[in-house]
Chain A
Amino acid sequence: MALLEVEDLEVRFYTEDGVVNAVDGVSYRIERGEKFGVVGESGAGKSVTALSVMRLIDNPGQIEGGEIRFKGENLLDMDEEEIRSIRGSEIAMVFQDAQTALNPVYSVGEQIAEAIRLHLGYDDEAARDRTIEMLERVGIPDPADRYSDYPHQFSGGMQQRAVIAMALSCDPDLLICDEPTTALDVTIEAQILELLDELADEFGTAIQLITHDLGVVAETCDRVMVMYAGKPVEKAPVEDIYYDPKMPYTVGLMSSIPRIGDERDRLQTIPGTMPDLIQLPPGCSFHPRCPYAEEVCTQIEPPLVDPETGEPAEGVDAERGAACLAYTGDLQNELGYEVHVEGESHRSAVRDVEEITGGDTDV
């Protein structure tokens, strides 16, 4: 049994402008100790998916369908009390911006110790000791002195370390990291990712790592899910994504991967923007931006299928899947691109995706 199984998750936000289909039919699974990446542009539904797992979707959001099984139990069936006992203790979360994620008016130590007292039942002193220990683990110097410092007295990197310490303090089985490094500069980013990697291994914690950045995924993850407009559009082991991306959107993301240390703006290379989730374009929601789009792409919504066999791959257990009409036989032309890889491993490879043939981009 997998640690986490998300099946056919549907989340909507009922806003004044209309119903936002933030997550629509997402399924995936994370094994114990596994590192699972979720990528996609801003607004793809990555955070909503993650928050659904924490059951932290707030008004006007609503989890409308699907199951989220954690160690076999559906989190969506649990009452508040039960889910609270899981939050922070079995599933913990690291947020994007540590500066805003920390409460400015309580000391860093207190904010970590709070969770320890709650979940591990430690008394004040023991919780304090463990907090200091955790701070030390995440690499904060003089942790005993820094315990009573307030968040604003920490640098950005240290804040994120503290948040990680907080998340790991109760030894969770699953750590959801929602873009844990976006707010940091690249050198710190690398350190934090390394730290996460290291600690996850040490604690045996599974990680769901959310990012816009396939490069980061490449650094850290075992398997990847690419999301676009609330839907999974490609799922694959990390090597496959790198060497053999199947979905034009993924390909687009690939070509926008910078090398680590590269200052180029990310995700600027796919022309156009994500569609309005209130009113998705018909057919393949990527078609307005897809260089290979054809007439049919505006009519048929491509299901997630195994690109090799064309078999449906929407289930929780599917290892490989891509949502493009090229794999259902509906597309007339080929997807014309090639991936060149320089370097030995996908983790440090420099890729160059070269477009060979262009589709009918007028659609």
Chain B
Amino acid sequence: MPRTDRDINRREILQGMGAAGVVGLAGCIGDDDDEIEDDDTDDDTDPGTDDDTDPGTDDDTDEEETDLDEIHDGGELVIGLAENIADFDPVSMNDTTSGMTVRTLLYEGLTAIDFEGDPHPGLAEDWEQIDDTTFEFYLREGVQFHNGEELHAEQVKRSFERYEGELREPDVYEWYEDSEVVDDHTLEVHLSQPDATMITGLAGVPILPDELLDGDTDPDEHPIGTGAYQFEEFEDGDVFRASRFEDHWFEGSDSVPETPPIEEITCQIIREDASRSSALQTGDVHHSFGLASDTLDDFDASDEFDLTSTPAGGYEFMSYPVQFEPWDNANIRAGVDRLIPRPIIIEEVYHGWAERSDLPFAEISGMDEFIPDDFREEMFEEYGGYDIDEAVELIEEGFDEEGIDAPLDVNLVVNADNDDRVQWTELVAESMEQSGMFDVELETFEWTEYVARVTGPGSEENNEIVTIGLSAGFDPDSFIRATMYTGRQTPGCCNIHHYSNDELDDLIETGRHDPDVAFDTDARAEVYQEATELIMQEAPVSFTQFGTEIDIVRAGEVHGWETHPINSYKIIKGIYAPESDQVAWLDPDAA
């Protein structure tokens, strides 16, 4: 089953990791949007109206109680983007900047995803699971594309099939077998295998109009979707502009108007963090993100800005060279895991703008659903936390088993262009040295060279501990598959050292694709708890921290902004998300 090792979730590298600067990292291909599993446990986050200065822990959202009458209609929102928009075609784009501008602002999928990762009706008003591998989707009627075309089922089928053979093929073909147009507004989709992440994944699969599907217009030249905003212009490396789509299908609700209040969106590409930060301060842009960690506290403290943040799916990890002795010994790996000074890393390196990662799942994975608090505590007690004594004990045991003497020579490698990552890697190296068990050499590489080294063929043949970051999303699968599943051995992303454990592989596959499990939350919970314990014992990789998504807007000028955990949904969800009752508007009197 060649495709089962693919993941519908889009988790990719988080270049600058979490909130930290994406300082001129060429090749910042971080698409960390993602979508999860169904299940309507709308136990909602309800972002509090807190001026929380304690970032890392919970949603830090300056949500104002929005009253429809209060909302001002109109205005131009100016956003400072850290990267150029590299690609306009959804089937090939794989950077978050293209995602947040083109894919999610201009296009829509059959489902819509809220701030907790739960799916809501999107272009499909409803859907029904017929059997293990058959779904029927009922399209919303009267939906118009920006070019005036009306939405019909054939377009959906063709939009799916357009992915075949393209770079993003796995987005669809991970589960898609074929589909039948039942009528203009009904599509029956046959799956190649059940997939727990399919429904949420659909939110990220744009539906295109005939004009694009027929090739009359090139989506790279002029994207046309059904989204709340329509494309105006793009100047390469400079500016992207979109305007409100007046004929968007949403008819309005008690809390969200039928069209977005913000009339125009202008995205200025400002690569340098410091420049972006000053553009925000001068008021040349209303909103930006990806600023250096050490400036966040200042923004947070200032009355001029509203900083909103939420735990996100990015994670940083260390991969152990399990093909080499003694790193095939789980005790040694688990021991090193407990030498990682996570609290210090979060405090010193990320200034609190990150989350600890004692367990392999971040909050957004839906941990509440799958991993109950008491189990989490149990695991932490047993295996987690920074504890030198415990660590040394484990490592000594491992050394005994392998018959080697401390200190062991270790190479740690990291990419030089990510300051935060280099810093935490140094902290880990220091901690390993201090344990007396290791002699650590640290080596840095340029980004692309590093990527080739750690994901290219032969990456497992390097006897070195690799530190790097990836993005996961709203599903637990996305946190463990990429780095630990046998099917993800390099070349490819990102089982760097070719760790292979049948038991774990089995759990990973079952949790997502088993017909009896994939669509059953309780069954999945059992699987992921089992996986958690196994991973804690085995420690094939160590997670060091989970990221937070952070937005900064100019206070008083932008009202109601909310931060979505998935980077590539940032803009649209921040300003207009009917399914989440979320809307932001511009104050015409301010500044």
Report A-B touching, CB under 8 Å.
no
List the interface of chain B (C-beta within 8 A of A): none
